[in-house]
Structure 1
């Protein structure tokens, strides 16, 4: 069994050590491709791999076609829109993610952004506190549940929208269920986005939703840039000088938006949600374990393609 770890942005050394231990103790061979600078390097490396572990690296139809022995791809993290699921299914390749491993790291970033934006990026002017403010969570998965947990410490009033999560699960977490996206944005001064980028969600958050937020509204996006309608975002920010937007991933028009709205917007220089040593280790080792389980027993609990 040959397992390829291919990462433009490498795992931490301690994570690689843990992954190596899991893989080699199972009798598999580990091949490491880090900081590669061309797609051809990935195409060459994957040629004989039976399993592939990635982070934000793109696995498209060309990569899959170059890997005739490939059986499983594990994306170390929750999001998996960097993998062509249809092409993987067509080639009989199982695609998995590692949900929950990065969730606390992302949730803590939400509150780092929330505090910074509420305090006007610490520019010396008077800001606001999070205590007693309303927080709406868009999608109540692992990250959303951690956001709710941390929000309790800030004494915020929390509601959430997730058509796939039963109301009682939210209520047990001290969260009020909301049943329409319009209501979520209209009722909450802070909204935290945790939806995946799918054909249904791309550009789904635009002017009407953002402009409906209460006075002093703050929209935080640690999900995907594709879910935002940038034209609508710009229009809302332009019309409402009280609105703010902070994101873990820069929009396509980041330079223009920053120039126009200054301290009312903030974007991390690269996606930072999972960029903690703990999340790096957790997701990497989980990916290694899932690869070995699939290759040895066929376990596919975290499969995301059909």
Structure 2
């Protein structure tokens, strides 16, 4: 059995796959770029299984692989697989839901803390030599007093410039209460935050308890939350759901966090709100267009925004998770057992 393999992976968790058949590693598995369609179609011509992360498994690739029995994509949403073509051939498609849920949830909390406490701004200032002291200077403690550790006490001191807000006691609005949203909520509760949930696919009885309430509308969540974080898939219903009108409902002290997808947000309207200081700040790991342009206002103009380059799921633990998921389901497939991670086309 030939297994054509271009996925990210954890070597230790991949070892059982070597007992199944010949694993031919190529592309991203070897640190190479995404493979062109023609090349991929030719190299998978005699493959029994294709396992990938980012390569496009198009109709041409699927139809060209005469012996293809299984496709596996190590992503939570296998957007790079032509599901219609796979269905026509009766080829099951595996994917890895939840593989990066913990990593993304932790990153979301990190973005919240970074924006609320202005951590990246303070770091950048110190690395740039601001607020630093003369290496040769020494503070003297007056007789009868104990040594004080304050940096300075004036209007432009770091204590004033980087003064932020704590998470405890604040309301976190979570848009989308699935695998990631729930994990974000659990961590936020440990900080002492109240949760306000909007998700049309969960009922009050499923989420509400002391400190957790379901919002009846996006508008209610936008009005009442001190922090707003998004964890929704891109669908016709969620595209642009954070609109100009809804952004206008936010508190002037509120922060907006997005580590899901840029398409859910009216980016131009959010930029205007940040420029005009109509909200306190924001933090982003995803954008309307990626990679983010070097002249984007988040980078060149705004001092109340934290930005990272779409890395919420970039941990070694994610590789362990999705390799384990795919390998275990391949073993089930070969045994004719029920598949745990089969995508429903």
**Cα distance change on mapping 1:195 and 1:56 into 2, 3 Å:** farther
Q: 1:44 aligns with which of 42, 45, 53?
A: 42
Name structure 2 gaps, 5 residues minimum. 123-157
Q: Is residue 74 from structure 1 mapped to residue 72 from structure 2 by the alignment?
A: yes
Report if aligned partners of 1:217, 1:243 keep a CA contact under 8 Å in 2: yes
Task: Identify the range of structure 1 (62-71 vs 215-224) with the bigger mean alpha-carbon deviation.
Answer: 62-71
* Secondary structure in structure 2 of the residue aligned to 1:30: strand
Say if 1:144 and 1:194, in contact at 8 Å, map to a contact too: yes
Relative distance call for 1:106 and 1:90 in structure 2 (3 A) is same
Secondary structure in structure 2 of the residue aligned to 1:220: strand
> Which of residues 7, 20, 31 is equivalent to 2:15?
20
Instruction: Give yes or no for the alignment of 1:257 onto 2:257.
Output: no
The whole-number CA distance in structure 1 between the counterparts of 2:204 and 2:55 is: 36
More helix by proportion, 1 or 2? 1
Q: Which residue of the partner structure matches residue 283 of structure 1?
A: 322
- 1:216 positional shift: 2.3
Alpha carbons of structure 1 residues 261 and 69: separation in structure 2 relative to 1, 3 Å: farther
Match of 2:139 in 1: none
- Hey, what does 1:89 align to over in structure 2? 87
- Report deviation, 1:273: 1.9
Range that drifts further, 229-238 or 286-295: 229-238
> Could you tell me which of 228, 236, 243 is aligned with 1:206?
243
Judge conservation of contact 1:81–1:197 (CA < 8 Å) in 2: no
State the number of aligned residues: 298
Match of 1:55 in 2: 53
Runs of 4 or more consecutive aligned structure 1 residues displaced over 6 Å after TM superposition: none
- Structure 2 length-normalised TM: 0.77
Alpha-carbon distance in structure 2 between the residues aligned to 1:100 and 1:192: 18
What is the alpha-carbon distance in structure 1 between the residues aligned to residue 303 and residue 54 of structure 2?
29
Q: How much has 1:176 moved relative to structure 2? A: 1.3
Secondary structure at the counterpart of residue 99 of structure 1? coil
Unaligned runs of 5+ residues in structure 1 are none
Contact between 1:104 and 1:143, CA under 8 Å: does it hold in 2? yes
Q: Is the 8 A contact 2:275 2:302 kept in 1?
A: no
Check the 8 A contact 2:254/2:280 in 1, yes or no: yes
CA distance in 2, matches of 1:110, 1:45: 39
For residue 220 of structure 2, what is the aligned residue in structure 1? 183
Q: From the superposition, tell whether residues 44 and 205 of structure 1 become closer, same or farther in structure 2 (CA, over 3 Å).
A: farther
CA apart distance, 1:134: 0.9
In the TM superposition, what whole-angstrom CA distance separates every residue of 1:28-75 from its partner, at most 9, and x where no partner exists? Answer: 332222223232443333333333333344333343344343333333
The equivalent residue for 1:221 is: 258
- C-alpha distance in 2, partners of 1:243/1:177? 24
Indicate the RMSD between aligned Cα atoms, in angstroms.
2.5
Shift in Å at residue 178 of structure 1? 1.8
Pair 1:292 & 2:285 matched = no
The Cα of 1:275 is off from its aligned counterpart by 1.5
Where relative contact order (Cα < 8 A, 6+ residues apart) is larger, the structure is 1
SS at match of 1:48: coil
Cα offsets for 1:250-270 (capped at 9, x unmatched): 43264322245423223322x
Measured against aligned partners, the alpha-carbon deviations of 1:185-221 in whole angstroms (never above 9, x if no partner) come to 2221211111112233223322122222222222211
Relative to the length of structure 1, the TM-score reads: 0.86
Segment of structure 1 superposing worse, 217-226 or 29-38: 29-38
Q: Is the 8 A contact 2:252 2:278 kept in 1?
A: no
Verify the 8 A CA contact 1:46 1:52 in the aligned structure 2. Answer: yes
SS at match of 1:284: helix
Could you say which structure has the larger radius of gyration? 2
Describe how 1:93-104 pairs up with structure 2 within 5 A.
93-104=91-102
Q: Which residue of 2 aligns with 1:2?
A: 2
The separation in 2 between residues aligned to 1:175 and 1:48, in whole angstroms, is 53
